[in-house]
């Protein structure tokens, strides 16, 4: 019976889509609009450039520049600084993708990789300042949300910091990726970036369709609706706060949604980690913890500023 549970859940979701096909179609259209308006323009260039940087030797460069500071702060190996920086600047799921690349190249051990995905996979400034700040029609609110998000990522990294310094990763395995020429790297990176972007958009459209069915049957206040929607899909959760003033409670709700990321982001993360030995368990725990910490930071700061 237990092994058949995923099948029964899938059948139930299929029945819901059939029964409420118009609401599902409207949700899917909204998901496609989010992909066209925000995800593809922001994610595809970042996927291409981050992949190129990794292929051309960025982990070694960042390890030299920031490795010492990151090692002291989070007790991660120097190469892990790439994942932390990309995760805070590129947005979901680039941090996880960077960790996966490092693991494939043998630059981080499995335990460290699982710790990295817990605090290095974050929402990026383009989405927080643009989409979230735009929802509240306040650049200051967007900046507050992003700063809280960064501080929460740092806090989770410190909480998960091991008591003892990590051992240096073993040298890359034979046949592991090494820096290659730009001409050889670009075609492979482009193909992978397009595939990853389409996968992310596929998850967003699927969850948006399912949310179209769910939210059509609910009548909740904006903040509560945003939290319900944001549990499943990040963009829809933030969009549900449109029209609400930047009060501490509504900003804290947005911060919690941004930190959690939604089940859609977790599915995207599982996708980019699928061909590695990295478990997603710490990612789930890290995102839940990061969302709560970010919400607390945001509420306290907003109470003083707004």
Over residues 99-143, the pLDDT tens digits come to 998 899 888 899 999 999 999 999 988 778 877 777 888 889 999
Domain membership flag for residue 211: yes
pLDDT in tens, 65-79: 776 788 888 988 877
Tell me which residue has tokens 């972007």. 197
Instruction: Give the per-residue pLDDT at 149.
Output: 95
For residue 241, the tally of other CB atoms under 10 A from its CB is: 24
Domain membership flag for residue 15: no
- DSSP line for 73-138: HH---TTHHHHHHHHHHH-TTHHHHHHHHHHHTTSS-HHHHHHHHHHH----HIIIIIIIHHHTT-
pLDDT in tens, 175-187: 444 557 777 888 8
Q: Which residue has the higher pLDDT, 113 or 49?
A: 113
**Mean pLDDT of the chain, nearest integer:** 83
Show the domain range for 92: 21-166+180-305
Per-residue pLDDT, averaged over 4-21, amounts to: 84
Q: How many CA atoms lie within 13 A of 283 on its CB side?
A: 29
Identify whether the C-beta of residue 25 lies closer than 8 Å to the C-beta of residue 209: yes
As for how many domains the chain has, the answer is 1
**Residue 244 CA: distances (Å) to CA of 131, 219, 224, 251, 254:** 14, 16, 12, 9, 11
- Structure tokens, 283: 């990612």
Domain membership flag for residue 4: no
Domain membership flag for residue 219: yes
Domain membership flag for residue 174: no
Q: For residues 147 and 139, what is the distance between their CA atoms, to the nearest angstrom?
A: 12
Domain membership flag for residue 9: no
């Amino acid at each position: 019976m237990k092994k058949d549970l995923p099948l029964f859940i899938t059948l139930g979701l299929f029945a819901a889509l059939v029964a409420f096909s118009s609401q599902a179609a409207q949700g899917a259209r909204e998901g496609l609009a989010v992909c066209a308006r925000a995800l593809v323009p922001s994610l595809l260039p970042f996927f291409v450039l981050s992949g190129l940087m990794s292929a051309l030797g960025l982990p070694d460069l960042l390890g030299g520049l920031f490795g010492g500071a990151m090692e002291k702060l989070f007790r991660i190996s120097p190469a892990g600084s790439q994942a932390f920086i990309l995760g805070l600047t590129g947005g979901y799921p680039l941090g996880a993708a960077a960790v996966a690349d490092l693991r494939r190249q043998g630059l981080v051990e499995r335990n460290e990789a699982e710790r990295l995905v817990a605090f290095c996979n974050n929402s990026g400034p383009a989405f927080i300042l643009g989409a979230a700040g735009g929802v509240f029609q306040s650049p200051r609110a967007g900046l507050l949300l992003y700063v809280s998000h960064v501080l929460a990522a740092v806090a989770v990294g410190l909480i998960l910091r091991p008591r003892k310094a990590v051992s240096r990763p073993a040298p890359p395995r034979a046949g592991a990726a090494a820096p290659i020429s730009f001409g050889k790297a670009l075609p492979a990176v482009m193909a992978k970036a397009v595939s990853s972007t389409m996968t992310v958009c596929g998850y967003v459209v699927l969850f948006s369709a399912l949310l179209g069915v769910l939210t059509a049957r609910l009548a909740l206040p904006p903040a509560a609706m945003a939290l319900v929607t944001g549990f499943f899909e990040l963009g829809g959760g933030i969009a549900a706060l449109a029209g609400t003033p930047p009060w501490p409670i509504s900003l804290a709700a947005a911060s919690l949604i941004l930190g959690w990321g939604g089940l859609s982001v977790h599915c995207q993360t599982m996708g980019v980690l699928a061909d590695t030995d990295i478990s997603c368990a710490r990612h789930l725990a890290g995102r839940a913890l990061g969302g709560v910490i970010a919400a607390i930071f945001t509420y306290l700061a907003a109470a003083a500023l707004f």
